[in-house]
Every structure is written in C-alpha cells, then in structure tokens.
C-alpha cells in the first residue's frame, strides 16, 4: 500500500478550502466545522511562532477532550511543534517525570489542572503556560484561538515528529513513543480497515485525545468522510443514551469496556441505536457472541501498539477470540526466546515488520536502552504473546511480563482475570504477584463487584477453584470500590496494594 504525502495539517487546510461548512466533529452536540478548526488552529500556530517556538520543539498539553483541544493539536501540527499529551488524571511524581523528561518549551493546560502541574514541582517551561479557562496572569487560549491570524508556513514532512506519546505505565515508568506524521496518518488508515468505515459514518469518541485511542481518529474526517461524536469521558450508565443522541454508527472499546457495558442492567433500549460495528481490542472470546446478540452489533477486534502506528492486525472474518490478520503494510512473526519461529499453536513473542519505511516508530525519546530492546534487526519486538490458529489468524495472549511465578508454574494474569470476570457478580478484576512465605510468589486478585452485588471472597475462591488449576487459584482476594485506570480504561496494576493484611487470605485459619 502507498500513502500520499499529505500530512494532517494540510489535510485540514484542503478540507477547509473545499468543504468549509463540513463537520469535522460534534463535541457534546456542538458542531465543529473544517473552517472553524482550520481558523482556530492557524491562529494558535501563528501565536506560537510569535513566542519564538521553533519547529521541532516540544509543547506539553494537559487538556481533557474539547473543541479547543482539537484546535491545539492541529495548531501544533501546522507549526511543526511536537505535541506531548499529558494524561489529565496524572499526578505527582509520574507527572513530574514526563514533563521533566520531555522538556517542553510551553505547557498548554485546562486552567483547573494548573495547580496539579504546579504541585508536582516539575521544571518550569521556558515560555510558561497557556491556559484554557480561568482568569489569572497567564495567556488565555480562547483569546489566542479567536485571533483570526493566518498561518501560511508549509507543514512538516510525513517523517517529522508529530507527537511524543508516553505509554500508560501500567507496570512501570512510562516511555515516550516518538510518533511521526506518517504514523498518525497510518493509524487512521488502520482504523478505517478495522471499522470498515464509510463516508457519513459517525464514530462515538469517548477516549481522550491524549491517548492513541483518541488521537488515531484525527485524520478520518478528512480522508474518509467520517464525523467524530466526542464526549468528555466514558460513562457506562450514559453510554447508550449518548450513542443514540449522536446517531453513532461505530463504538470503540479497549480494556474492560465491553465487559462493563455487558454487565449493565438489560433494558428494552439495548438495540435501539444505529451502531453496526464495535471495534477495538480486548474482547474476551467468552463474551463476544453475547455482546453481539444483546446489542445487535458486529465485533471487529484488532491488535496494535502506539509504536507501530496503532493498528497491526484486524479481524474482519468474525473468528471469535482472534485479532485477525495484518494490515497491508505489516507482517507478524511469533518467535521464541532464541529468535526462532514457534510451531503453529504454540506461544511466541509477537514481532512486527513493515514494508513501508516509517510505519514503525524510530524509537523512544531519550531512552536508548528501551529503544534497543524494542527495535532489533529492523523489527519491533512487542513484548506481547500470541499464537496462530490453523488459518493463520493471530490470537493475543497478553503481555509476556504480566505473569506470576507460583509453585514452579508461570501463571498468566490474563488467564486468571478472564475466568474471574465470568463470575456474575464481578464487574472487573486484576491479578498481581505478591510476596510468598515459601517459593517465588503468591497470587493476589482484586475484584470490583457489579453494582448492587453482594460479593464474598470465600465464595469467589470456591467458585474459582472449580475453574482454575490449583496453582492458578489466588491465595489473596481484595474487594475494591474502583480501580485507578489509564486513559484507555486499563487498570494501573503498579498502583495496586501488595500488602497481605488488607485482603482475604485463603490459607488463613477459618477460611
């Protein structure tokens, strides 16, 4: 496949000229036209240049989804500045690390988030802060965007950096993925393949733009005639009413989103919507058909990483439990620890190669050791496990490192969580390894009960014992009200308590 050399900024300019009143997105119902977005982003680009920010410098952005956030992202792209999205939920040392590591010349933020940035004691950016909302001594974003200033500089090349997107850090310190303009274009092409998009489709967007799950959609209104229906954040209770309100044809899922939606109370409105496709990653085979049957949508599963332009494989054949086959610009191998292909049906590390130079990221920002580990012999070593079925469909088995060594056996968190989540009273769960009295580790399982459910750890343990091997059955079970999550709703496992005195213990006397 070939990709034209039109980058995101020029795509918007062209649409603003040819279809100025066309709709790029609706945010909380309010329309944003191509002309409006082009004008606002140009005004920002001109202002940034007036502040002496030069092509290639970094600008950190800590904003929740809004019309203004879209204008900021396109304004940075026009000026050739590198967008460093900051998770609006980030705090303290984690936030300090990303700001200090990325060294932004300017920080653009929602005004209410400025105290959080200040409190983390990160280094002060050279050009200070540009704020969305609020009323203080800092420049105001709304004034900049309404300036009406033209910006006529040529946009950067496709291989110039578009963003540095820090991984969610579910298991450790985040790494800054350098995302080129080409990669963000390819991400949109990949989404179109996964979602089988058509002109006029409406994609419901709950994911924040500071995550690749939201950012990967940015080109679609210009390249495929798709309209984005954006909301502030994911809400399980309001999800389907919002989908109906915007007449969405597509919904996106990651992490445990489908499980959460499936466990909401059934209503007569479950099929009262225009959605034909639910696309994303992380749909367990056990709920695949149940979700399709209840809500009347087609599941189209995919697999990918930010490091490889977001989308690597997609399932357009309906093979339950599979993430399908590669997009045209990638190939996938499954390799063992010695770098040899594994036999069909056996697990190996997912290794991605490309026929299109630039489709795989150039490396992690200022992190040569992590780059060297991920990029070897012209390929991306993902750290993920997969198998091929007899028809060469890829089956995803989770992260290689997300396992626990218990009683001499490697226990996959993905396998235990998949079984535990089948319990009718469990909304979501997460497994980690904790210190053991004897041997390597014991298993601790965290469970969030379904709303209104009464859940007893002893009963859960007994239920699991009939469905898991003895070495897989968690010794410890902790019931939680909520999990801390990444923008894509993945549970932040590194923040889960490893204490042994705040949970139920299967080996304790009387249990």
For residue 129, tell me if it sits in a domain. yes
The model's pLDDT over 223-254, given as tens digits with 9 standing for 90+, comes to: 999 999 999 888 999 999 999 999 999 999 98
Q: pLDDT tens-digit profile of 398-417?
A: 778 787 878 766 687 887 89
Tokens of 147: 């300036």
User: In whole angstroms, how far apart are CA 442 and each of 118, 209, 331, 445, 506?
Assistant: 40, 38, 38, 10, 11
Q: Is residue 156 part of a domain?
A: yes
Q: For the residues 367-393, what does the mean pLDDT come to?
A: 95
The total domain count for the chain is 2
Q: Is the pLDDT of residue 283 over 50?
A: yes
Tell whether 295 is covered by a domain.
no
Listed residues 125, 154, 183: the one ending a domain:
183
Domain region containing 97: 8-183
In this predicted structure, the answer to whether residue 170 has a pLDDT above a threshold of 90 is no
Residues present in the chain in total: 511
The enclosing domain of 14 has a CATH number of 3.40.50.980
Structure confidence by residue, pLDDT tens digits, 16-34:
999 999 999 999 999 999 9
**What would the pLDDT profile of 414-460 be if each residue is shown by its tens digit?**
878 988 998 999 999 999 999 887 657 899 999 999 999 989 999 99
Q: Which CATH number covers residue 411?
A: 3.30.300.30
Among the three residues 137, 162, 183, which one is the final residue of a domain in this structure? 183
Tell me what pLDDT residue 263 has: 84
Residue 92 lies in a domain: yes
pLDDT at 341 over 90: yes
In a domain, 439, yes or no: yes
Final residue before a domain boundary, out of 183, 202, 226: 183
pLDDT > 90: percent of the chain: 79
Residue 172 pLDDT > 60: no
Mean pLDDT of 313-337: 97
Q: For residues 418 and 57, which has the higher predicted lDDT (pLDDT)?
A: 57
Residues 132-153 pLDDT 10s: 998 778 999 999 999 999 999 9
Q: How are the residues of the chain apportioned to helix, strand and coil, as percentages rounded to the nearest 5?
A: 30, 25, 45
In a domain, 50, yes or no: yes
How does the average pLDDT of the chain come out, rounded?
Answer: 93
3-state SS record for 432-475 = EEEECCCCCEEEEEEEEECCCCCCCHHHHHHHHHCCCCCCCCCC
Domain annotation covers residue 463: yes
Q: State both tokens at 35.
A: 């002309």
How many Cβ atoms are within 10 Å of 393's Cβ, its own excluded?
17
Q: Report the pLDDT value the prediction gives residue 409, as an integer from 0 to 100.
A: 67
Q: Which residue has the tokens 């040569």?
A: 368
For residues 163-191, give the mean pLDDT: 87
Confidence of residue 2 (pLDDT cuts 50, 70, 90): low
Whole-prediction pTM = 0.84
In a domain, 91, yes or no: yes
Residue 1 has pLDDT above 60, yes or no: no
Predicted confidence (pLDDT) per residue in 476-488, tens digit: 999 999 999 877 7
């Amino acid at each position: 496949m070939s990709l034209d050399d039109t980058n995101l900024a020029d795509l918007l300019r062209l649409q603003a000229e040819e279809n100025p009143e066309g709709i790029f997105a609706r945010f909380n119902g309010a329309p944003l036209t191509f002309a409006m977005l082009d004008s606002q982003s140009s005004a920002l680009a001109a202002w940034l240049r007036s502040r002496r920010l030069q092509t290639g410098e970094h600008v950190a952005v800590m904003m929740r989804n809004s019309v203004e956030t879209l204008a900021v992202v396109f304004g940075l792209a026009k000026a050739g500045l590198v967008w460093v999205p900051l998770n609006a939920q980030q705090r303290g040392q984690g936030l300090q690390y990303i700001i200090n590591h990325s060294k932004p010349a300017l920080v653009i933020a929602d005004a209410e988030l400025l105290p959080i940035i200040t409190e983390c004691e990160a280094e002060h950016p050279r050009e200070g802060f540009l704020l969305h909302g609020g009323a203080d001594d800092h420049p105001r974003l709304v004034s900049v965007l309404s300036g009406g200033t033209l910006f006529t500089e040529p946009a950067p090349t496709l291989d110039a950096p578009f963003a540095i997107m820090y991984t969610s850090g579910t298991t450790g310190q985040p790494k800054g993925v350098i995302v080129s303009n080409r990669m963000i274009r390819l991400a949109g092409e990949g989404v179109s393949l996964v979602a089988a998009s058509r002109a006029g489709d409406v994609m419901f967007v709950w994911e924040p733009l500071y995550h690749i799950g939201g950012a990967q959609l940015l080109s679609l209104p210009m390249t495929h005639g798709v309209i984005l229906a954006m909301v502030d954040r994911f809400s399980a209770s309001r999800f389907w009413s919002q989908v109906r309100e915007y007449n969405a044809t597509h919904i996106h899922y990651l992490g445990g989103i489908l499980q959460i939606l499936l466990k909401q109370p059934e209503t007569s409105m479950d099929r009262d919507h225009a959605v034909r496709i639910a696309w994303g990653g992380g749909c367990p085979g056990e709920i695949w058909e149940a979700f399709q049957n209840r809500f009347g949508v087609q599941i189209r599963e995919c697999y990918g990483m930010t490091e490889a332009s977001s989308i690597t494989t997609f399932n357009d054949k309906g093979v339950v439990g599979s993430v399908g086959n590669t997009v045209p610009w990638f190939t996938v191998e499954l390799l063992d620890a010695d770098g040899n292909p594994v036999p069909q049906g056996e697990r190996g590390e997912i290794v991605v190669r490309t026929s299109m130079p630039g489709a795989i990221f150039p490396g992690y920002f200022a992190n040569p050791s992590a780059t060297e580990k991920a990029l070897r012999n012209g390929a991306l070593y993902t750290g993920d496990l997969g198998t091929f079925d007899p028809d060469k469909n890829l089956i995803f088995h989770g992260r290689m490192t997300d396992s626990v060594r218990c009683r001499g056996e490697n226990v996959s968190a993905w396998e235990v969580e998949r079984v535990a989540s089948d319990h009718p009273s469990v909304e979501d769960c997460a497994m980690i390894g904790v210190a053991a009295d004897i041997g390597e580790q014991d298993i601790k399982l965290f469970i969030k009960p379904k709303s209104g459910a009464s859940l007893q750890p002893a009963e859960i343990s007994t239920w699991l014992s009939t469905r898991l091997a003895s070495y897989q059955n968690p010794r410890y079970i902790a019931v939680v009200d909520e999990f801390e999550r990444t923008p894509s709703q993945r549970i932040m496992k590194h923040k889960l308590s490893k204490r042994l005195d705040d949970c139920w213990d299967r080996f304790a006397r009387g249990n």
